[in-house]
A and B are shown apart, each in its own frame.
Chain A
Amino acid sequence: MSELETQVLIIGGGVLGTAIARELSRYKVDVTLVEKEVDFGWGSTKANMCIVCQGGDALEFRKEYHRSRLVWESIPLTEPLCRQLAVPFKRIGELTIFKDNEGMAKYQKLKTRAESLGITTHQFIDRDTLRQMEPNVTKEAIGALYDPMIAITDPVRLTMALAENARQNGVNILTGTEVLDISSGVDEFEVQTSQGSIKSKFIVNAAGMFVDKVAAMANADDFVVFPIKGYVGILDKKVGGLVEHEIHARPEAPGESNIITPTVYGNLIIGTPMKLARRNDYSTTRQMAEIGLRNAQKLVPDISEGDIINSFAGFLMFRNWELGWHECVVSPSRSVPRFISVSIGYPGVSAAPATGKKAVKLLTQEGLKLEENPNFNPYRKAITDFSKLSDEEKGALIAEDNRYGHVVCRCEMVTEGEVVEAIGRGATTLDGVKFRTRAGMGRCQGGFCSPRVISILARQLGIPEEEVTKKGGESRHLLYQSKQLLGVRE
């Protein structure tokens, strides 16, 4: 790509950017999406609690906040969207526990207020019911506020599916393309990227953690987001049954909330927000891990350090220090026409479906003409999940294609056939295969499957094995061929 022209340029391939792209693909309009990473959802979409609409979203609903409204409007949209795109979605319900009557009184107030706004799904449960529902939750809890509506999904897989479906419906998607500068002309923008320049009439800035930096490139807006870093730990499936609901203790102070929840794959995930951090610094510290574990143990005491199979850092963006995660940016620039910035903060996944629709509306208000695309296909077929097939289906599939009889990931039971499918859907890296198939996400964390996946990637992409990367760029997994360091081989 040296020079490219498009009507709408979306910057950012996270859950918001791809949701907007997919929403725009319902119309006959020339759309390009650029993502600086080689795959989708690898920024702030990647590391979070995988929860669709937390209880707090409802309890603290404020119709004057964009974010509240977008989360709220997304509730009826998310499940059908996941179904159309064949992405896992499970309603598990949330239990917000409290340890004293004072705590309960606080929730009573919030619940009453929520009810006055028409939000009526919450109910109190007593100690005995809580014990029955969740026998492993801390015995200090005297009850909980139960919200059965809370659901979980796989945000990265949702993002990849949105991108795939958008592409299928005609959106031009460019990965590995980083926006470096934006100049605003009279009726179009010229965007310099790492892969060449793009001319576009409209820009949707969904650059996640860098949303303020991208806005600043175009002199579009003068706002700042504060990246708050949190700790996320994944627990072995063998302790996956410790809880069945999302268990939550509300923060005593902002940023101190902690959560434990099942994932759609049967692991548990623990998380604790931490503090303001340098953006894009995904490193974890010993202290974070200790606090993360300790906070999780306050909810479920039986969790031990040995149950953690992986841990990482995630970010949530505060738009405004006082309002914390309540406020977000989904608005046209005040000074530059046809430039829209979109940032939910946390959690983007809960607000993505309505944000997609909202962005389309804002674009039309800015002058974009839209005509329905009669060929829009909302459905995306899932990659085969061999482990979920019945015995008969497994046998039939292997008979049809024996690559499904070759297990490459033993922990998550992923076959060569699925890895090949994932590559066909756009995976070009080890992580790309991992997020699409779960190969490498199990308890051995890629020890067994990585040599096998690397050789399948090399074969399918027609590249040498040393060029296969973990996550694009300089993340090559194997640096040399045998004997190369001895000067025997060039």
Chain B
Amino acid sequence: MNRQNVDVAVIGSGPAGMAAAIRAKQSGAENVVVMERAEQMGGLLHQCVHNGFGLLYFNEDLTGPEYARRFMEKAMDVKVTPLLETMVTKISPEREITAISSKEGYITFTPKSIVLAMGCRERSRGALNIPGTRPAGILTAGTAQRFVNVEGFIPGKKIVILGSGDIGMIMARRLTLEGAEVVAVVEILPYIGGLIRNEVQCLHDFSIPLLLEHTITQIHGEKRIEAVNVARVDNNRDPIGGTERRIECDTLLLSVGLIPENELSSMAGVELDPITGGPIVGEMRQTNVPGIFAGGNVVHVHDLVDNVSWESELAGESAARFAMGAKWAEKGKIALKPGRNIRYIVPQTISGEREITLYLRVSDLEEGVRLKIGDIMSKALRVVKPSEMLKIELPMAQLRKLKQGATEIVVDCEKRGK
């Protein structure tokens, strides 16, 4: 492969990376490489053997590996070049990529543009500071998923899950089907952290106890975990004295959130949003570093893979056009500001010159609300939850209502009057 002549390099080949690379190629970039540390493309989709993928994108209910397969085949069709077993170790602000590979050794090259598609990682126990001992048998739900679905091992047979993220709920069902007993799913909030469909299909359908407004206050066991203490929490999420009880278990899974994986982005000088944990992007998914674009869970954690694919296609298209000479301002001239009960909005800036899709999350669960995009658009919603991303199309017809010279749009989630 001639590395002196790479148009677009995509970092990561999960759903984001594959979609970006395919779209970059389709948009006219000639030499598109996708850099992947594993032996094959597809990222974590291969360990997600459950269904529910592609309902929006393909209008079909696929498993993770099936969803991956479609993109892998398409990538081969359009002649994307995969660089497998290749780990990117550095990206410079001048877009120089450094990587190591067991086949090719030490690699450096400078593509015309880059798409960041590294996805996200799970929060660990350390990040939570759960008190207690430090025995074996505590692992994140995603690591457990890999052991069960790819490596062929079951971590234990009496399982407590802390957090009700999607992977945790899916693993509750998966381990039940494998003959383990999931004794409790413990969630500190008054509502689950993942999708309703997973609460119903993974927990309720299998009669798995869900303890809302509870948390783990202590871990017991010297060598292997033996039990946890679980307590009810008050409105400040602090444990309530006297509500503590011991639950015996041999395994604790953690499903307490995902963090965009942006160590490489930081090395490249990409500015991050402290709320999303991902790059601050414009509507073309451009970052503050010219020629570096980003898409998927590296930008913000999505609920549905379909949206990851769509967002990354936009990044891939932009990277291709940049490689062919197109230029945009690093920041759109209009900033989108989170207002009442809005946690974040992606993209963070827009130009106001083309129609866009806004992805946003609320801070708190609320019923009977109205979402107001400045004074150019509003939408009534029955219920909003932090765990369910909102996706709002903003057509040109609405954007034209913006006042001349406007520099920001405040997005509010307002309570509707009776």
Contact = CB atoms under 8 A, between A and B. Distances in A.
Contacts of B153: 465-466, 478, 480-482
A480 B154 contact: yes
Contacts of B239: 286
Given A405-B102, A447-B139, A469-B136, A482 B178 contact: yes
A471 interface: yes
Interface in A249-286: 282-286
Interface residues of B, number: 55
B83 to A, nearest CB: 12
- Most chain-B CB neighbours within 10 Å: which of A392, A402, A473, A475? A475
B100 interface: yes
Question: Could you say which interface size class chain A belongs to?
Answer: 35 or more
Contacts of B98: 391
B122 A476 contact: no
Interface stretch (B143-151, B279-287, B305-313, B338-346): B143-151
Nearest to B155: A478
Contacts, number: 155
A394 B100 contact: yes
B180 A485 contact: yes
A242 interface: no
B134 interface: yes
B178 A308 contact: no
Contact of B154 (A309, A311, A481): A481
B223 A482 contact: no
Interface stretch (A22-30, A147-155, A217-225, A406-414): A406-414
A483 B136 contact: no
A391 B179 contact: no
A309 B124 contact: yes
A476 B136 contact: yes
B140 A447 contact: yes
B126 interface: yes
A398 B85 CA distance: 13
Nearest to B135: A475
B121 A447 contact: yes
Contacts of B250: 479
Nearest to A390: B106
Contacts of B132: 283-284
A403 interface: yes
A466 B154 CA distance: 9
A136 interface: no
B75 to A, nearest CB: 23
- Most chain-A CB neighbours within 10 Å: which of B143, B153, B217? B153
B92 to A, nearest CB: 13
B133 interface: yes
B160 to A, nearest CB: 15
Nearest to B141: A447
A293 to B, nearest CB: 9
Given A475-B136, A476-B136, A481-B152, A284 B121 contact: no
Contacts of B22: none
B127 interface: yes
A310 interface: yes
Given A405-B102, A469-B136, A481-B152, A451 B157 contact: no
A157 B125 CA distance: 24
20 contacts: A282-B133, A285-B218, A310-B126, A312-B134, A405-B85, A406-B102, A430-B136, A445-B124, A445-B126, A445-B127, A446-B143, A447-B139, A451-B146, A471-B136, A475-B135, A481-B153, A484-B179, A485-B157, A485-B180, A486-B179
Which 8 A-B pairs have CB atoms at the shortest separation, nearest pair first?
A: A485-B179, A405-B102, A395-B106, A470-B136, A310-B126, A445-B124, A475-B136, A475-B223
